[in-house]
Copies of this chain bind each other. A is one copy, B any other.
Amino acid sequence: MGNSRVTVREIARLAGVSVATVSRVSNGTGQVSEEMRRRVLEAIEQHGYRPDHLGRALAARRHGALGLVFPGLSGPYFTELIQGFESEAVPARASVHILCTHLREDSDDQVLEMARRVDGVAVIGGTISDPALLRLAEMVPVVVLAGRGPETVPSVSVDNEPAMTRLTRHLLVDHGLRRLSFVGNPDGSPDISDRWAGFRAAHRELDLTPPAEPLRVAMQQPDGVLAAEQLFRDPATAPQAVVCANDEIALGALVGALGRGLRVPEDVVITGFDDAPMAALVSPPLTTVRQPVRDLAAEAARLILAAVDAPGAPAPDSIVLPTDFVVRRSCGCPAEAPTGGTGK
């Protein structure tokens, strides 16, 4: 029993019926008499028959799988994405394929290759080129997750730019800070690019000149530590506030700043983006922007699943989810102040 080598024809022979009947019983489709059903179910039960996924997939011309493509895996942000995506895929009986391109030379080809094994793909913004994205979209439904693609490819993202503008404005206006540094690489992903744009927009609103360049580092805690080291090396050029592209960097920067004996927020203000679980737990707690990461990925999965089920339907509109500005102590506010959304 439990032998996965047993096929429809085998069951059909044992139950003394045709393969069509076995298929009908095992799928609950069509009309089957009580007597036949009983005989078939008995044979299925007795030999532990389970229809082969490949045979079924070939006949249905459907893989029963969704792809998720990353540049690289790092930090709680990505694990949240995966789990949000999975939470929608699994109930839909679709398995999840993942691919980390590591921004290798052949990333585009790898993604195209993956597309031939799944029914739809979500690509993290900034992972592959736009032309590749378009070719991908010809093959299977695609959505860009956390970022934007070409006009015709739907995407799911948050209102990065206004959120970061609001945060930056808070530092400039409410705290009267002037020398701000932005830490993160705008070329690394559309998300960061938007946040950098929001950061500069807040400066221009107030007729201030934003820094010409961000401090380009990767997105993890260690990168934040290194950034702090660089920013605070020379007290003369040290910023009053470090606006980090995400919480991971901010947490690293905080550790780095405290490690150098600086007080936060008295000597330097530090802010993040994401509202990762640690953000509320460090001392001082991190002022940041909460974004619904899991929902973001779940929404992407839903979009793809819908497109798979309704082929030929027009590509859905892009979705922008709202964020919340979360004021805590690392910006210099006395305590957890009231928060408000930035969504329209």
Bound Cα distance from A133 to B17, whole angstroms: 35
Residues of B within 8 A of A114 (CB): 95
Can you show 7 pairs from A to B with CB atoms below 8 A apart? A2-B138, A54-B58, A65-B117, A73-B82, A221-B281, A255-B278, A255-B282
A152 sits at the interface (CB 8 A): no
Q: Mark A122-141, 1 if CB is under 8 A from B, else 0.
A: 00000000000001001100
Segment at the interface with B among A97-105, A171-179, A193-201, A307-315: A97-105
Assess whether B96 is in contact with A97, with CB atoms less than 8 Å apart: yes
Count of residues in A whose CB is under 8 Å from the partner chain: 52
A53 touches B116 (CB 8 A): yes
**Chain B residue contacts of A225, Cβ below 8 A:** 278, 281-282
Distance from A97 Cβ to chain B, minimum over Cβ atoms (Å): 5
Total copies of the chain: 2
- Kindly state whether residue A339 has any CB partner on chain B within 8 Å: no
A221-B277, A225-B282 known; 7 other A-B pairs, CB under 8 Å? A53-B117, A75-B76, A75-B79, A83-B100, A225-B278, A225-B281, A255-B278
Give bound CA distance, A64 to B114, whole Å: 11
Does the CB pair B82–A100 fall under 8 Å? yes
Complex: how many Å from CA A65 to CA B95?
11
Smallest CB separation, A123 vs chain B (Å): 15
Contact between B117 and A95 (Cβ–Cβ < 8 Å)?
yes
